[in-house]
Structure 1
Amino acid sequence: MSAYMTEFDRVHRSRVRFAWLIVLAVVTGAGAWLTAPFGIVQLTRGEAAGWLLVAAGVLLLGLCVAAIIVAVRAHGRIAPQSLPGKANPAFDEPQPSKNPNGGFALVDSQLGSH
C-alpha cells in the first residue's frame, strides 16, 4: 500500500474517532443534564436514591468533559493550522491580454464630461 493510502487511512480513522467522541460527549452531557437535577430533587424530598442519581450525573458530566478534551486534542492532529506559504511573486503583476486584436475603448471621447 502506498504512503498516500496509509496516510488517508490514518486520517479517516482519526476523523471517525473524532466523530464518535463528539457523539459520546453529547450523549453523556444529555445524561448528566437529565440525572443530576432529578437526583437533587430526590435529595430535597429526603429519598436516598437521590445520592445515586447525583453521583451518576457527576460521573456523566466528568465523562462529557473528558470526551470533549480528547476530541479537541484529536481534532488538532486531524486539521493542523495552516502555515503561511511562500508569496506568489506574480500576484500583483499586471498580465497583458493574450488577444492580439485588442478591443474598442472610448478613451478621450469626452462622453459625459461637460
Structure 2
Amino acid sequence: MEFKLDSDVVAIIEAIDSFVVEKEKRYCVIANLLDGEIKENLFLNIPFNNSFGMTTRITHTDSIQFTDGRKYVLVCTQSDDKETLDMLLSMNVGLEKLKITISGED
C-alpha cells in the first residue's frame, strides 16, 4: 500500500518491529522515517486490513541507534488498558508502511 503526504498525513514510516514496555504501559514501533516529521500528539494509524484500522495518539518519539550503526525512529503510544496493549502487540506490526496523521481518535 502506497501513501503520500497530504493535509492530514504528515509522515510515513516503515515499521521494522513493535513491542510493549509493560511497566511504562507503552506500545512502541521501531521504524524508518520515509517522509515527513513525527511529533507527539499526532496519531499512529495501524491497519487491520485494507479498509479498516485504528489510530492511537503518539505520546513519545525518539531516535535510536543500534551497535552496528543502524538508526531508526521510535514511535510510542501509551494506554492504561492492558487489553489495548495486548491487542496492539498481537497485530505483529512490522515490515509495513504506516501513516502518521493529524486526525484520529484516542
TM-score grouping bracket, smaller chain normalisation: under 0.3
What TM-score, normalized to structure 2? 0.22
| Structure with greater helix percent | 1
Rg: which structure is higher? Answer: 1
Q: Which has the higher contact order (CA 8 A, sep 6+)?
A: 2
| Structure with greater strand percent | 2
